[in-house]
Amino acid sequence: MNTKNKVLVIEDSEDFLTPLRTFLMLNDYDVLTAETGKEALDKIMEEPDAIILDLGLPDMEGIDVLKEIKRITEIPVLVLSARDSKNDFESAFSNGADDYITKSNLKEELIVVKLNNLIGRNKQTGSNALFGNGKLYIDFRTKVVRVNDTKVHLTEREYELLELFAQNAGKLLENESIFRKIWGDTYS
Ligand code: CA
């Protein structure tokens, strides 16, 4: 079984991405990469343990990518940016960034220390179990369900059913087993 931590690096500059990826792999990380915001939001479905996000992306504002990540998941995000004004820091942290490193002050060892901290912290509070198919997103830990962009309120039973279906997506479930799983002993 693969127990390596997985990190998603969102960065469009090859000059930056290539050495960073190599360094992370040498430090025993599995590395996913995305060069655009849109690609990044797809790769999140591979459930990385942490995300490194550059704010200067070609297709979307990095802050908007950050907001979207935080809207659908609790994966920790380390912002890595050339921008270093107080406004940039405030904007990143108020939109959910878990940590921030400026490119001018970049030491790769520091990235690894920060990532390890973020992942350790997150693992203590539970996994990021997340379901998403482009329209429907379910965070199994927080039980937050969204369809397109809208948060959906479900009763407890409705949520349990949806979770069961999502976790068995593509599989055929027998009525009998659905009733037993959801209604348990009260079903006869
Ligand atoms: Ca960039």
The CATH number covering residue 35 comes to: 3.40.50.2300
Predicted confidence pLDDT, tens digits, the chain (188 residues): 457 899 999 999 998 899 999 999 999 999 999 999 999 999 999 999 999 999 999 999 999 999 999 999 989 999 999 988 999 999 999 999 999 999 887 888 889 999 998 998 776 655 446 777 777 888 777 788 888 878 888 888 888 888 888 877 778 888 888 888 888 866 65
Do 57 and 117 lie in one domain? The reply is yes
Last residue of a domain, one of 76, 106, 125: 125
Cβ within 8 Å of residue 60, ≥6 positions away: 36, 37, 38
Count of Cβ atoms closer than 10 Å to residue 79 Cβ: 27
Q: How far is the CA of 13 from the centre of ligand 1 (A)?
A: 5
Q: Which domain holds residue 111?
A: 5-125
Tell me 151's DSSP state.
Answer: E
Ligand 1 centroid to 134 CA: how many Å? Answer: 25
Give CA–CA dist 92/76, Å, rounded. Answer: 13
Query: How many angstroms separate the alpha carbon of residue 57 from the centre of ligand 1?
Result: 5
Both 84 and 135 in a single domain? no
| Cβ < 5 A residues, ion ligand 1 | 12-13, 54, 56
90 and 181 together in one domain: no
Task: State the distance from the centre of ligand 1 to the C-alpha of 51, rounded, in angstroms.
Answer: 15
Measured N-to-C along each axis, helices 156-167 and 175-183 cross at an angle, to the nearest 10 degrees, of: 130
Question: What predicted TM-score, i.e. pTM, was given to this entire model?
Answer: 0.68
Question: Ligand 1 centre and the CA of 47: distance in Å?
Answer: 23
CA 99 to CA 2: how far, in whole Å? Answer: 27
CA of 79 to the centre of ligand 1 (A): 12
Domain total of the chain: 2
Give the distance (Å) from ligand 1 centre to CA of residue 133. 27
Dihedral (CA of 35, 39, 43, 49) sign: positive
Same domain, 54 and 118: yes
Question: Where a domain ends, among 74, 103, 125?
Answer: 125
The Å distance, Cα 109 to ligand 1 centre, comes to 20
Q: Are 56 and 82 in contact (CB under 8 A)?
A: yes
Q: Which residues contact 63 (CB under 8 A, 6 or more apart)?
A: 55, 91, 92, 95
